[in-house]
Structure 1
Amino acid sequence: MHPPPEINPARYAPESQSRPAKQDVKKLPKIEEIKQTTIPSDLQASANSLNLSDLIDVALRNNPNTQHSWASAKASAAEWAISRGEYYPKIDADLTGNGGKLPQTLLGGKTYFDSNLNLNYLLLDFGGRSARVESAKQALIAANWNHNQVIQDVLRNVPQAYYFLLGNKALVKANEMSLTDAKVSLRSAEERKKAGVATIADVLQARATEQQIYFNLTGAEGAVEISRGNLANAVGWPANINFDVASEIDKIPVKTMQADIDTLIDKVLKDRPDLNAAAAIVREKEAELKNARALPFPKFVGTGNMTWNIDINRRSGGNSGVYGGVGVQIPLFDGFVMHNSARKAKSELEAALATLKIQEDNIISEVWAAHYNFTTSVKQLDAAKALLASAEESFQVSLGRYKAGVADIVELMNTQNQLAGARSELINSRMNVYMNYAELVHAIGSGFSTEVPGETSRPIVESDIEFREIKDLWKNNLPVNLTFSDGTPYPHQGIVNFINNVIDPVTSTINLRATVPNPEKKLLSGMYANVQLMLSEAPNTMVIPEKAIQEEQEGSVVFVVNKKI
């Protein structure tokens, strides 16, 4: 039997500086009870083709970072509630009983019971109580903003990890295509050697290029598994969970931000959760300084007491008494604690203000960099497409020239390597567009909206349509249907609730806005989808080819065949 720690505390520490401490792993919390480590049952059927909305939905419910920030916010709410307890009186009771040979003259009996009911209430402390409550309230506000920021981090980290995985899978396909090109070049070199118009050096160089591409392919395949593990970690799953994502989408689901950089920065300074959290901390420190400055002032306290006792031996009625009063607590000297508490609170306020300024400068810098990284990546994507088209044509020309004997193996290998590099550049450029877009949305603060759609939210959908038959647009409850970028139809129908009164003179389109139900939380801020409108419906109508319609001065006419013709 081991002695208790108060007798031999050194026994419960490591035995020496070179030996690890012995831990009782049975007492560690069971992590599987804290966070979900499996794919939800409603996604089991599509576990090998999860899309981004599925992953984000799971992450928001499963990621331990959101769990931690949520629990911290609830703890801050409880702390605020505790601080507000000072507005209420404190009431306590005590019950005592005594027995034995007691002097009759002292207590009048041998056995008695005594009960007391006490009341204490702080009447006035010159603002200290309200300052403590305000400090706790601002701490709650900061915790809530921090929770929102964690959600924004998840909404950035999951898409970036998702697109990074898609990019690495695309690099595998690109390397496979380059490997096919390398085999064609190697076959051409071997055929020319058999014909006696090439040397073994051509074959060896082509074979070395083939092996280099195979080496790159192996690395790309490993990167796919690593990025899949990183995506699982971003969602809140262990890296070894068995899942996969849907095939890469061809269409870039982003568009260039129309707002200029100054407008974006102005919006960010209002919407960023971490900046609002820093501002709340400043207000918290202001309240703490107010409380510290109230400490030297007297406190007025109301008191009350009710007493009742009974003598068991005499079997007589109990005695009772009631009194109340007001007391004044005047601090005289406490070793300069109150004075230094005010100094500390003032310095902490100055530090919080400095932190707020640093946060604001960092956010402006972050938005500036994210904006130009995104716009640059969009331009680079166009350049990468042109580069790939040029490299493909150059390789085909060089391959034909080599087969005809008018180009050497060096020229062929150079164009082949250029083509492989162009494929990788296009994939990386597309991936950078996605990732920089996610970073820009994060820097702005939830893609121009700080609300994360929940079960009862109705997200706003905006779309531009061609300006045709505008009279049909102003129908009441015009229905809207959505289709995701991968072709999957959205199961819930929305309704148009806003139609712009200005037509774009360049594109001849008009802007619409609709609200769409979102019970499964599939729609997230910043997502893009195809919008379909049912402008009009004509039942039992004959449909004819457009070519049969003739335009005359009187209007559109159609020739029909009857008995007279």
Structure 2
Amino acid sequence: MSGSPSRMRGRSQYTLYLSLLVFVSQPVLAFDVLRTEGAIPPTAAASLVATGLDGNIRPCQFGAPGVPLRLEEAVDRSLCENPKTREAWANVKVQAANVGVARAAYLPTVTANWQDVRDDSVTDITGHPALSSADRASIHTASVSLNWVLYDFGGREAALRNADQLLAAARANQDATLRSAFSTVATDYYAAQAAAGKLAAAQETEQTAHDSFVAASARVAHGVAAITDQLEAQTSYAQATFARAKADGDLKTALGTLASDMDLNPSEPIAVPPVNDGVAPDLDFSESVTELIQQAEQQHPSVAAARAQLEAAVAKEQQTRAQGWPTLNFVAKYSQNNQPASLGLGEPQFPATGHDWYFGVQVQIPLFEGFGRTYQARQAHAQVEVQQYTLDEATQQVGLDVWKTYQSLQTDLQNTGNTAALLNIAQRSFDAAKHRYTAGVGNILELLHAQSQLADAHQQRIQALTDWRAARLQLAAKLGRLDLQDLHLGER
């Protein structure tokens, strides 16, 4: 039975302490006292598409997809809703909070302790009742202590610099993630446009093949052509029907992929503009490839992130070494209690109050840590080397990516002109072959060959436009300067 009231009082005190902690901490959590939230973009996509071309704010709020769906809207939806961009955004929040933790190290820590217990102490000594005692009292104890690090040989400064650089790296990584998602959704959008264009071309080819089949059948019926003409034309028509069905399936797959990029159900109905809508290829990126590579090595987010990681590793090494040096602290404490006083065992207790306080300077000197600090410093220095090599690798990769995409863009730019000329020639060749066959001076093989070449020219034209559009955005992404303006480069 002895001690039960104390345990109950202890549980009551613990509950009261938790309630007080929640009451005090909630208002504190609501404020950004150390001003770190300014480094956090308001939305997952804000650092890239916070404002549109009209200068208006672009919140991550969407209704049904537009008809037709414009690339700008597809990019907005993808950057706002893509899980990878949201993950990168959350990492920025984490690192911003770490900056707050590092800044908080410059402030003193104040700890308050309050205790209210019921002390029920009974001692029964057999045969000596005069020595027995029964002490019951409510004891209140309260104290406040303060600790303030005054000097630590640059440890806090290095920790703050490390946190700042990690935040810079997180923001650069977010930027890289956004641009990667930007490039992905743009590529998938162009693929959907290409698939729609190829379906339209396949439908046109199917209709042309049908017309050729009808013409051949008429000539066979009038006895002016062999049955083989009709069979050849029918075979070509069947192949065109097969190609049209495949193009239809490819379009549905491409549209489903695009819908998934925007975090929509793949079955969501989406319509995209014609593949040749607003096309006017020009000479974007007029700088030399050497200049472009140099720009990328300075501006690309992946290089910026690697550079920030290197600076953070250097600061971490300095922080680790500083932690092995003494620290100078200002300390203070005040406490009071109402512990009853007694003259001795078995004597009655008398009410009493007491208090004590102190303040002064405390020096903490790490004399021996089992050589752990030595190896922690070596580990931190090795991590600096790792980050240096990572930066070198990122710089090298960016330069190679720019070189490859630049060459692809030049090729694709030339092919947009080549395929336009090819399509014009193929159309004229088919028109001539069709006229010759209808006039009875051409044969079915000549007509079908011209028909096949026209279909191929349509497909090559569509693919060339798609490749050119994707290549210029890929180059902008590799240069690290991809933004909404690039959606309209080279278009009327």
Q: TM-score range by the shorter chain?
A: 0.7 to 0.9
Amino acid at match of 1:277: A
1:82 equivalent to 2:43? Answer no
- Which letter does structure 2 place at the counterpart of 1:190? S
1:342 and 2:352 equivalent? no
CA distance in 2, matches of 1:41, 1:299: 51
Code of the aligned partner of 2:469: Y
Gapped regions of structure 1 (runs ≥ 5): 1-33, 453-522, 532-565
- Asked whether 1:178 is paired with 2:225, we answer no
Match of 1:191 among 198, 206, 218: 218
The answer as to 2:154 corresponding to 1:127 is: yes
In 2 relative to 1, CA 194–168 (structure 1 residues): closer, same or farther, beyond 3 Å? same
Q: Return the alpha-carbon distance in structure 2 between the equivalents of residues 351 and 323 of structure 1.
A: 48
Structure 1 partner of 2:144: 117
Q: Among residues 92, 97, 100, which one is paired with 2:120 in the alignment?
A: 100
Contact 2:325 2:365 in 1 (8 A): yes
In structure 2, what is the Cα distance between the partners aligned to 1:253 and 1:445?
24
CA 300–342 in structure 1, closer or farther in 2 if over 3 Å, else same: same
**Which AA in structure 1 matches 2:304?**
N
What CA distance in whole angstroms lies between the structure 2 residues aligned with 1:247 and 1:412? Answer: 28
Deviations 1:19-69 (A, max 9, x none): xxxxxxxxxxxxxxx99xxxx98754x633222222223333333322221
Aligned to 1:101, the other structure's residue is in SS state strand
Cα drift, residue 356 of structure 1: 0.7
- Specify the code of the residue in structure 2 equivalent to 1:74: K
C-alpha contact 2:119 2:138 (8 A) present in aligned 1 = yes
Query: 3-state SS of the aligned residue for 2:338?
Result: strand
Alpha carbons 1:446, 1:526 under 8 Å: kept: no
**3-state SS of paired residue (2:105):** helix
- Tell whether 2:411 aligns with 1:382: no
Tell me how far apart the structure 2 counterparts of residues 191 and 254 of structure 1 sit (CA, whole Å): 44
Q: CA RMSD in A?
A: 2.9
Task: Give the equivalent residue in structure 1 for 2:40.
Answer: none
Name the CA distance, whole Å, in 2 between partners of 1:400 and 1:371: 44
Q: Answer yes or no: is 1:51 the counterpart of 2:86.
A: no
Q: Is the 8 A contact 2:333 2:357 kept in 1?
A: yes
By how many angstroms is 1:135 displaced?
1.0
- Partner of 1:122: helix, strand, or coil? strand
SS of the equivalent of 1:100 reads strand
TM-score, scaled to structure 2:
0.78
Aligned CA distance change for structure 1 residues 169 and 354 (closer, same or farther; 3 Å)? same
- Quick one: which of 338, 347, 364 aligns to 1:310? 338
Aligned sequence identity (%): 26
Question: Could you tell me how far 1:110 is from its partner in structure 2?
Answer: 4.3
Specify the alignment match of 1:295 in structure 2: 323
Q: TM-score, normalised by structure 1?
A: 0.68
Q: Give the Å deviation of 1:370.
A: 1.5
Secondary structure (helix, strand or coil) at the match of 1:123 reads strand
Deviation at 1:230, TM superposition (A): 1.4
1:168/1:402 Cα in 2 relative to 1: closer, same or farther (>3 Å)? same
Distance 1:42 1:116, change over 3 A: closer
Match of 2:404?
369
2:258: which partner in 1? 231
Query: Any conservation in 1 of the 2:281–2:490 contact (CA below 8 Å)?
Result: no
Mean CA deviation greater in 425-434 or 195-204: 195-204
1:158 pairs with 2:192: no
Q: Equivalent residue for 1:518?
A: none
Deviations along 1:210-268, one digit per CA (max 9) or x if unpaired, are: 11111111111111111111111222323222332344453325531222212222222
User: Structure 1 stretch 384-393 or stretch 401-410: which is displaced more?
Assistant: 401-410
Q: SS state of the match for residue 225, structure 2? A: coil
| Partner amino acid, structure 1, of 2:121 | K
* TM superposition shift of 1:350: 0.8
Preserved contact between residue 275 and residue 466 of structure 2 (Cα < 8 Å): no
- Tell me if structure 1 keeps the 8 A contact 2:147–2:329: yes
CA apart distance, 1:171: 0.7
3-state SS of 1:93 partner: strand
Gaps of 5+ in 2: 1-42, 45-59, 124-130, 342-348
Q: Which residue of 1 aligns with 2:296?
A: 268
Q: 1:530 to 1:256 in 2, by over 3 A?
A: closer
Cα 1:312–1:254 shift into 2, 3 Å? farther
Cα distance in 1 for residues equivalent to 2:373 and 2:449: 78
Counterpart position of 2:387: 352
Structure 1: how far apart are the matches of 2:228 and 2:191? 39
Flag the 1:253–1:115 CA change in 2: closer, same or farther, 3 A.
farther
Shift of 1:278: 0.9
Q: How does 1:431-470 map to 2 (within 5 A)?
A: 431-447=466-482
Contact 1:254 1:437 in 2 (8 A): no
Counterpart of 2:437 in structure 1 is 402
- State how far apart, in whole Å, the 2-side matches of 1:358 and 1:408 are: 62
* Alignment deviations for residues 428-457 of structure 1 (CA, whole Å, 9 cap, x no partner): 11111111111112112234xxxx6xxxxx
Pick closer, same or farther for the CA change 1:124–1:109 going to 2, 3 Å.
farther
- Residue 360 of structure 1 and its aligned partner are, at CA, apart by 0.7
Higher mean alpha-carbon deviation, 231-240 vs 394-403, is at 394-403
Tell me if the contact between 1:171 and 1:427 (Cα under 8 Å) persists in the aligned partners.
Answer: yes
Q: Which residue of 2 aligns with 1:278?
A: 306
Q: Is the Cα–Cα contact under 8 Å of residues 333 and 358 in structure 2 kept in the other structure?
A: yes
- The offset of 1:289, in angstroms, is 1.1
Task: Tell me if the contact between 2:275 and 2:462 (Cα under 8 Å) persists in the aligned partners.
Answer: no
How much does 1:421 deviate? 0.5
Give the distance between the partners of 1:250 and 1:327, measured in 2 at CA. Answer: 75
Cα deviation code 1:131-166 (max 9, x no counterpart): 122111111111111111222223322222222111
Q: Would you say 1:418 and 2:453 are equivalent positions? A: yes
User: 2:351 & 2:180 partners in 1: Cα distance?
Assistant: 73
Q: Which residue type is aligned with residue 234 of structure 1?
A: D
1:43/1:253 CA distance change after superposition, 3 Å: farther
Shift of residue 316, structure 1, vs aligned partner: 5.0
2:419 pairs with 1:392: no
8 Å Cα contact 1:296-1:331 kept in structure 2: yes
What is the CA–CA distance in structure 2 between the aligned matches of 1:439 and 1:156, rounded to whole Å?
A: 6
1:240 to 2:267 alignment: yes
Q: C-alpha separation between the residues in 1 aligned to 2:85 and 2:138?
A: 60
Distance between the aligned counterparts of 1:253 and 1:148, measured in 2? 29
Asked whether 1:527 is paired with 2:488, we answer yes
The answer to whether the 8 Å contact 1:109/1:311 transfers is: no
Q: 1:231 to 1:438 in 2, by over 3 A?
A: same
Where do 1:471-510 residues align within 5 Å? none
Quick one: which amino acid aligns to residue 201 of structure 1?
T
Counterpart Cα distance in 2 of 1:102 and 1:334: 47
Which AA in structure 2 matches 1:418?
A: Q
3-state secondary structure, aligned to 1:245 = coil
* 2:163 equivalent to 1:136: yes
Question: For residues 102 and 131 of structure 1, do their structure 2 counterparts lie closer, same or farther at Cα, with a shift above 3 Å needed?
Answer: farther
